[in-house]
Amino acid sequence: MISRPMIAAILASTAAVASAAAGPLQVTSSILVEARSAAADGTTRVTLVKPTKVTPGDKVIFVLAYRNTGAQPLANVVLDNPLPRQIAYRSANPGSPAPDVSVDGKTYGSLATLRVRSPDGSTRAASPNDVTSVRWRLASPLAAGSQGQFAFQAVLK
């Protein structure tokens, strides 16, 4: 049974999130799929579109578009995307900086530097399937009005 004060607390926290999202750093998350079409010059054009259907084994592209809507530069910007449990990481999307990845949500680095501990105590090199979270850091402050995007490829388990 939920008491009335708890409902009030939930409403208050929802409101807090909404107001925080209105802050100077705006990030729009989207899940897209590749659409291939023949271009006039005979090449194949790949565009990212909203999926009509996604089934296990399909490649999906996670895109984080960010923008500083404020009047001041923002320093030490970090975007952190814990992967949905049903999603297996593959790689950075072409054109996007590679994220640091984590297999435990604590230690981040390039995949080659990470190891996974097995139940018997031994460790092995991490594979893309082990990744549970990805993270990007902006090396320099994000100037007022500027924007960019990060993207990675993944597969639906």
Partner 1 sequence: MLSCILAAGLGAGAFQPALAQTPAGTTPAGTPIVNTAGLRYDADGTAQSTSSNTVTIIVAERLDVALVRDGQGAVVVTAQPVAIPFTLTNLDNGAEAFVLAASVSPGAAILRALVIDADGDGRYDPAKDHAPADNKTPLLAPGQSIKLLAILVPTPDGGTVNAVLTVTARSITGSGTSGNLYTGAGDGGGDAVVGPTGALATVSVPIGTGPAGPVLLKSQSVRAADGSQNAVRDAVITYTLEARFTDAVTGARIADPIPAGTVFVPGSLTLDGAPLSDGADGDAGRFDAAGTQAGGTQAPGITVALGQVAAASAHTVQFKAKIQ
Q: Is 24 left (phi over 0), alpha (psi -120 to 50) or beta?
A: alpha
The two structure tokens encoding residue 119: 């139940």
124 DSSP β-pair partners: 116
Q: Which range, of 3-11, 37-45, 54-62, 104-112, touches partner 1 by CB under 8 A?
A: 54-62
- Work out whether 118 is an interface residue with partner 1 (CB under 8 A): no
The three-class DSSP label of residue 62 is strand
Q: Which range, of 7-15, 48-56, 89-97, 108-116, touches partner 1 by CB under 8 A?
A: 48-56
C-alpha span between 114 and 132 (Å, rounded)? 12
- Work out whether 103 is an interface residue with partner 1 (CB under 8 A): no
Nearest-approach distance from CB 60 to partner 1, in angstroms: 8
- Work out whether 12 is an interface residue with partner 1 (CB under 8 A): no
The three-class DSSP label of residue 9 is helix
Q: Which residues bind partner 1 (CB under 8 A)?
A: 17, 20-21, 23-25, 27-31, 51-57, 60, 62, 64, 66, 70, 72, 74-82, 84, 86-87, 142, 156-157
